[in-house]
Amino acid sequence: IHIVASSSAGNCVIVNDGVSSIMLDAGLPYRKILKAMPIDIQMVLISHEHQDHSKSAKELLRRGYDVGMSKGTADELDLKGYTRLKSFEQRETGGWLIVPFEVEHDCAEPLGFLIESKTTGGKCVFIVDSAIVDYDFTGVTHYLIECNYAEEILAKSEHKEWLKDRIRGSHFSLDNLKTFLCTSDLSKTEAIYLLHLSDSNSDEKRFINEVQAVTGVPVYTGQRDYNDVLQSRSMV
Mean pLDDT of 125-150: 94
Above 80 in pLDDT, residue 154?
Answer: yes
The pLDDT tens digits for 45-98 are 999 999 999 999 999 999 999 999 999 999 999 987 777 777 778 899 989 999
Mean pLDDT of 36-45: 91
Above 70 in pLDDT, residue 41?
Answer: yes
Burial class (CB in 10 A: 0-12, 13-18, 19+), 44: buried
Alpha helices in the chain (DSSP H): 30-36, 51-54, 57-62, 71-77, 151-156, 161-170, 174-182, 204-215, 226-235
Is 32 in a helix, a strand, or coil? Answer: helix
The pLDDT tens digits for 167-226 are 898 899 999 999 999 999 999 999 999 999 998 999 999 999 999 999 999 999 975 444
